[in-house]
């Protein structure tokens, strides 16, 4: 008997037992799909006890005290996973890529998925019922939109399910010394985001700033009510550095979050940023990082 046949037999036996034994509320569970390639639970792209929490709980409720799977289990470090915004912001990303992103986020219990605004409703639907948050970007990637446009983007995103918003600061205004304009820009978006119960991260795009401008940007974001400051969009000439993270952490203190983003591709990169003061990591190489952490 090969693995597929064994899976089918286990599934058949398990489903017959579950159909006979009442669970909470006196109703038999809907016993569709456990480790069977053509019998997948609705909305699920995996078929294993590690990721199918609902099915595993049903089996335990029926009397099992141990659950096994023929699939390969990956040991997940929850502290690392909880730092990561699993990200796809490339303009050519497809629906299938966003669905895959969300499935991976569910599997590893990442802090959030970060997607372009168009994909927010899809991500919210795919992640419904999970602890993974939906994050999106506004004024992206240049930050040069009028404030009203950024506010409208943020309001629409939160309305459609975004729980975190990463906005790009007005880099040109900052470099011009128009600090009131920068503060007003961030504050207006922060107020809109907070009204919807979401949080705001502000992307400084550090590659375009000197250290004094980075510190000023952090101070303005803190005054304006932002929740995080973030290093980069990933679209500029360079991304996060340990120097910038340490500088930003010193500027905002312990009260705000600091997100490192751009060029973080390995577990060593993540640990370097965390040691420098980052409390969140934006990465598209998240799965690779988690696989490294399990090695």
| CATH code for the domain of 202 | 3.20.20.70
The Cα 97–Cα 250 span in angstroms is 37
Instruction: Say yes or no: 173 and 37 in one domain.
Output: no
Domain co-membership, 174 together with 210: yes
Q: Is 72 considered catalytic here?
A: no
Whether the Cβ atoms of residue 262 and residue 87 lie closer than 8 Å to each other: no
Evaluate if residue 263 carries a pLDDT over 80.
Answer: yes
- Are residues 184 and 253 both part of a single domain? yes
The pLDDT, as a whole number, for residue 236 is 95
Task: Answer yes or no: do 118 and 30 share one domain.
Answer: no
- 200 and 246 housed in the same domain: yes
Q: Could you tell me which residue, 15 or 26, shows the higher pLDDT?
A: 15
One domain, residues 143 and 289: yes
Domain annotation covers residue 189: yes
Are 87 and 28 contained in the same domain? no
Last residue of a domain, one of 13, 34, 61: 61
Contacts of 150-156 with C-beta under 8 Å, sequence gap 24+, read 150/185, 150/188, 150/189, 151/188, 151/189, 151/192, 153/117, 154/189, 154/192, 154/193, 154/200, 155/192, 155/196, 156/117
Domain assignment present for 67 = no
| pLDDT (mean) for 156-185 | 98
Do both 22 and 134 map to the same domain?
Answer: no
27, 38, 136, 179, 226 from 217: Cα distances, Å? 57, 53, 21, 9, 11
Confirm whether 166 is a catalytic residue: yes
Q: How many domains does the chain have?
A: 2
- Domain assignment present for residue 145? The answer is yes
Q: Is 243 inside a domain boundary?
A: yes
Residue 248, in any domain of the structure: yes
Q: Is the pLDDT of residue 167 over 80?
A: yes
Shared-domain flag, residues 41 and 97:
no
Same-domain pairing of 139 and 282: yes
Residue 72 lies in a domain: no
- Residues 45 and 101 reside in one and the same domain: no
* Residue where a domain stops, chosen among 30, 61, 92: 61
Whether residue 173 sits in one domain with residue 145: yes
With cut-offs at 50, 70 and 90, classify the pLDDT of residue 61: low
Per annotation, catalytic residue among 55, 214, 230, 269: 230
pTM value? 0.76
Mean pLDDT computed over every residue of the chain: 85
Of residues 3 and 8, more confidence is placed in: 8
Tell me if 264 is assigned to some domain: yes
Backbone torsions φ then ψ of 289, nearest 5 degrees: -65, -45
Flag whether 73 is in a domain.
no
Kindly tell me if the per-residue pLDDT of 70 is higher than 60: no
- Residue of 166, 185, 244, 269 marked catalytic: 166
Which residues are within 8 A (CB) of 9 and not within 5 positions of it... i.e. 6 or more apart?
1
Region 229-246: mean pLDDT is: 97
Provide the token pair at 74.
Answer: 């990956």
Containing structural domain, residue 200 = 78-294
């Amino acid at each position: 008997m090969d693995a597929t046949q064994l899976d089918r037999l286990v599934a058949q036996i398990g489903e017959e037992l579950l159909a006979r034994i009442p669970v909470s509320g006196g109703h038999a569970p809907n016993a569709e799909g456990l480790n069977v390639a053509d019998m997948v639970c609705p909305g699920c792209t995996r078929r294993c006890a590690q990721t199918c929490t609902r099915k595993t709980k049903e089996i335990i409720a029926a009397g099992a005290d141990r659950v096994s799977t023929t699939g390969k289990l990956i040991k997940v470090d929850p502290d690392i996973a909880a730092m990561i915004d699993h990200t796809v912001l490339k303009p050519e990303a497809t629906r299938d890529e966003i669905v895959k992103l969300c499935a991976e986020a569910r599997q590893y219990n990442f802090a959030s998925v970060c997607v372009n605004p168009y994909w927010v409703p899809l991500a919210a639907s795919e992640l419904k019922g999970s602890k993974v948050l939906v994050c999106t970007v506004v004024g992206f990637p240049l930050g040069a939109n009028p404030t009203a446009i950024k506010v409208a983007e943020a309001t629409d995103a939160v309305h459609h399910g975004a729980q975190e918003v990463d906005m790009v600061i007005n880099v040109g205004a900052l470099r011009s010394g128009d600090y009131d304009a920068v503060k007003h820009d961030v504050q207006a978006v922060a107020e809109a985001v907070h009204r919807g119960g979401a949080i705001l991260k502000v992307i400084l795009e550090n590659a375009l700033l000197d250290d004094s401008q980075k510190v000023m940007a952090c101070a303005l974001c803190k005054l304006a009510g932002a929740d995080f400051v973030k290093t980069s969009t990933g679209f500029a000439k360079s991304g996060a550095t340990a120097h910038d993270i340490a500088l930003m952490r010193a500027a905002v203190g312990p009260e705000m979050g600091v997100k490192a983003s751009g060029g973080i591709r390995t577990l060593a990169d993540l640990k370097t940023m965390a040691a420098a003061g980052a409390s969140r990591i934006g990465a598209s190489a998240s799965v690779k990082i988690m696989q490294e952490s399990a090695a």
